[in-house]
Chain A
Amino acid sequence: MTGQLEVAGLTKRLAGRELFAGLTLTMAAGEFVAVMGESGTGKSTLLNLIAGLEAPDAGQITVAGQVLNGLDDQALTLWRRRALGFVFQSFHILPHLSVGDNVALPLRLNGQGTLAASAIALEMLGRVGLAARAASMPTELSGGEMQRVAIARALVHRPTLVLADEPTGNLDPDNATRVLAFLAEQVREQGAMCLMVTHSHQAATVADRVLRLANGGLHAA
């Protein structure tokens, strides 16, 4: 699935403070954008708004032609299930599911049968170099391996947009470099968009474009 992201006139107030005042962002299909900014500038809130997890006070968000404004929680959830992939700082791999089952989860949610989902997940794990660990439990993996599993899970259902929130925050520099390169490679290979928020200048170097979030708006870094 390919498409583009358009955020127009986004306004959001949080705890009486104006986070965004008419924020605008456009991403082309297959583009990798990094957003940097100081703590508290609203980087994660921006991801929440784009994911439909929070509602803006004003403005419009359109992902691959789907306008999010006006969708109710159920519709947003089903859209997220189809169109988005997430990579978190703390991996958020379900500890009670095997590595393979964790990766297959988005496919199962989208209605794939168990066997088909497992096969696709295994293939995806092969692409991240972890096919041999499909039956392992997450507790048996290293931090870098867990983040690769998380990336596999984010991409396995071929989403339009991958939202990555400090994906290397819990990794050492070597692992961080490897994981980011891998994320960028996989996103580009699938033709998906990826919006990554990060504090790390090093991490931002893998992006096609780096933006800085400050004073309620996005600026070229």
Chain B
Amino acid sequence: MKLLLGLFISSLRRRRFAAALSLLAVMLGVALGVAVSVVNRSALDEFAHGVRVLSGEADLQIVGPRNGFDDALFAPVVLSEGVAAASPVVELDVRLPGRDSPLRVLGLDLLRSIQIQPALRPETGPTLDAGALLDPDLIYLSPAALQRFGLSVGQTVRMQLGARTIALRIGGVANGFGAGQLAGLMDIAAAQWRFDHLGRLTRIDLRWASGGDTSAARAALKALLPPGLQLVPPAQREEQAADMSRAYRANLTMLAVIALATGAFLVFATQSLSVVRREAEFALLRALGVTRVELLRGVLAEGCAVGLVGGSIGVVVGHGLAAIALNTLGGDLGAAGYFAGSRPALQFDLLASAVFLLLGLAASVLGSWWPAWRAANADIAPALRSSHQPMLPPASVHRRVAIVLAAMAVALAALPPLQGLPVGGYLAVACVLACAVVCLPALAHLLTRSLARWPGLLLGLVRARVAATPSHAVIAAGGVLASVALSVAMAIMVASFRDSVDAWLARVLPADLYVRSAQGAVAVGVEPDALKRLAAIPEVARIEPIRHEQIRLDGGGLPVALVARTVPAEGADRVFPMREMRPCSGDCVWVSEAMSDLHGWRTGQQVQIPIGGGEHRFVVAGIWRDYARQSGAILIDLARYQTLTSDMRANDVAIWAAPGVAADMLRERVRALFGPSLEIASAELIRRSSLALFDRTFAVTYALEACAVLIGLFGIAASFAALAAARRREFGMLRHIGVTRGQIGTLLALEGALVAGIGVVGGMLAGGAISVLLIFVVNRQSFHWSMDFAVPGASLALFAVAMLGFAALAARLAGGQAMRLDAVRAVREDA
């Protein structure tokens, strides 16, 4: 058996080129999957580590709106039954002028926090005494923050606070933070005072006394909490971060899996062709006494070897790609929002490595299964005849299978999400791909028949060849179909998404100019006084303040954004693009599609919303399209919000220029009044930067698609390399009767283009169907975003032409040996 196994494995060496391409395809698929997983794992681990550092040994946390809650709650909480220790926290993201990375400022009661967050300790500089820890002018920065911002102990650091800046001196180093955490530590009273949070907390960390965690104690604690506040374990924040990015991660992983599936097609193509070429060899082995099962195992072992070697290299390359991605794109792979600004350290992901290695192995073995089965069941006698012409079996059309697969796709697409993931959608995509592959023979037949009137000798030869050997066309085109389908689906989805986002931005950014308090410092904001000064600028026609808050609804789940804007009398659709709307009577809110999907809120429904420490009843008057917040958003009229909260600050301010005033001039006027403390941008700039962010987010998917396309082209190259060797006699005869080398090359190129054309047409059709699934099922269920269908016709046409060109080139290069002189001798029986 060992000898036999060696015989099969050594055949891979004989067909190095095809084997190398198969190996490369599996390697790429595995590498992409591992890379996506490793990056996500590293980012999540870093986030979880950050959460653990900040929450220390807390058993529970009281959390509420991002703007905080009344600190009067602390006293009853600390005295509550079973609570051994409680630590009040003010946690704010602030920005240093001119710096993009936010600094997380943690205000702690240092005498209490030592019981829960003992690791977080400020270390005073040499010139300060212990009393300096309470100095309201001092802040202690983590080593990472000092390094990132180029600061040192004793220096003064300025931080933005709404429309102004405050200055704090660096009193020393804050120990206990994670290696990359940009954080600062202050006394809680100092933080409340200096950051306009007097009387407010953002969190209370709790530790139970031994045996104190009873249901009665929890109930008593819960009873103390005003509406909008929740009692959550620290781990829930890790889970929420994982939940937030899960759909994005799952979608990237699916792309990697499709790349791997394309690799399986390539293995299938090369193995099928190799089995055909070795029919006589296999027949001899069978005649010598090798059993069918041994033959089957032998061919499968070849696939196994390709999968194992390719997969192992893929695991290593995947970690390398992950390291590059973490350094260049960050932990969220360019999709700013999930782990924005994070630069996690690379971690070896054993589970992902094992899973994707197994997937690579499975893809390779599956790709080898049918060729192996065919080899094992071939007739021996005909294959041993010298006149035997190795032929692929005819490609048959399985109409019933195609219909069943299409029906399954439709049924699966109608399924609701599973654990927030569009599992039905993914399976429907797989069914569409499988259906398209099943339909390939019919498509090949249709296309070659429609090209029956091709002019010219070479074109006619190509058409006749492809029409006579549809099996080869199907095998070679399978990989192209899968990769083109993936690319086309993604292109249509991205174009639809981008167009919709562009239209959405135009609707939500009606003003000439927007100013905002420092990004990341959402809890702070532009004060009423600054708003008045803005409105008083002669070049300003009118302003509209916008307030962002984050609230927590009963029943847990991710925090929900509350957007307070002036809703005009003409209707809320002047503010956001409404998908459905009804006249508002009484207290109304309008909710995003994600709110509707995640919380089941419908138009006309009465809902309870915790705002300003109280629970208030509203009627849902409409559902709007929102591309900014994935976990749900609620639009409330600004005046109503201010009445309920007495919060008169704004995060963003929309400014309309007076007639005849250019946006640039207006910006200069605002800049002159507020200096660099406010970010000022025109609607056009925000639109452009938003679309740039959008493009960056999809950059990774483009890379995944490019890999899938590359693998598809490998399939063409591999099959033509194998076929060129098998067709040496045919080319030799053609050369005898006067076909030039160049014409043989053209013949190969045209054949490559035609075969790829079958895959491209199939891929376009399948891709169109998959894009519908992506847009209306996968995206909707993953991110709760609806979008208008848009087909980037010109780009797709260009892509198709490029694919044909590359396929022609790949076939021409791979079939190079067909043009060598020895091909001429191939026709001879006697040298």
Contacts and interface: CB of A to CB of B under 8 A. Distances in A.
A137 B465 CA distance: 12
A153 B461 CA distance: 16
Given A53-B821, A94-B730, A96-B465, A80 B737 contact: yes
B418 interface: no
A53 B741 contact: no
B737 A166 contact: no
Interface string A81-110: 110111011101011110001000110111
A43 B829 CA distance: 11
Contact of B830 (A44, A77, A96, A105): A44
B388 to A, nearest CB: 11
Interface string A57-76: 00000000000000001100
Contacts of A74: 740-742
B556 to A, nearest CB: 66
B127 interface: no
Contacts of B461: 94, 97
A43 B830 contact: yes
B738 A45 contact: no
A166 B830 CA distance: 9
Contacts of B469: 96
A166 B829 contact: yes
A94 B727 CA distance: 10
B735 interface: yes
A102 to B, nearest CB: 10
A96 B828 CA distance: 21
A153 B737 CA distance: 9
Interface in A162-179: 165-166, 169-170
Contact of A45 (B735, B737, B740, B831): B831
- Residue among B730, B821, B831 with max Cβ neighbours from chain A (10 Å): B831
Contacts of A101: 460, 464
Interface residues of B, number: 30
B704 interface: no
Given A44-B831, A53-B825, A90-B829, A109 B730 contact: no
Nearest to B738: A81
B748 to A, nearest CB: 15
A92 B733 contact: yes
Q: Which of B387, B468, B733, B737 has the most CB of A within 10 A?
A: B737
B730 A80 contact: no
Contact of B824 (A43, A53, A109): A53
Contacts of B828: 44, 48, 88, 165
B733 A48 contact: no
A196 interface: no
A51 interface: yes
A94 to B, nearest CB: 6
Contacts of B827: 88, 90, 92
Contacts of A43: 830
A77 B739 contact: yes
* Most chain A CB atoms below 10 A, which of B387, B732, B735, B736: B736
Nearest to A117: B457
Contacts of A169: 829
B599 to A, nearest CB: 63
A97 B461 CA distance: 8
A90 B737 CA distance: 15
Contact of A90 (B465, B729, B824): B729
Contact of B736 (A53, A97, A110, A137): A53
Given A53-B821, A96-B464, A166-B829, A109 B733 contact: no
Contacts of B758: none
Contacts of B736: 51, 53, 80, 84, 86
A78 B738 CA distance: 6
Contacts of B732: 92
Given A43-B830, A44-B831, A48-B825, A170 B733 contact: no
Interface in B477-503: none
Interface in B88-118: none
A45 B831 CA distance: 7
Nearest to B733: A92
B387 A96 contact: no
A174 B829 CA distance: 22
B738 A108 contact: no
Best-buried of A39, A94, A153 by chain B (most CB within 10 Å): A94
Contacts of A97: 461, 464, 468
B568 to A, nearest CB: 71
B409 interface: no
22 contacts: A45-B831, A48-B825, A74-B740, A74-B741, A78-B738, A81-B739, A86-B736, A88-B829, A90-B829, A92-B730, A96-B465, A97-B464, A97-B468, A105-B457, A105-B737, A106-B737, A109-B737, A109-B738, A109-B739, A165-B828, A165-B829, A166-B830
Q: Which 4 A-B pairs have the closest CB atoms?
A: A81-B738, A96-B468, A92-B733, A108-B457
Given A85-B737, A109-B457, A137-B468, 6 more contacts: A53-B735, A77-B738, A82-B738, A94-B464, A96-B464, A96-B469
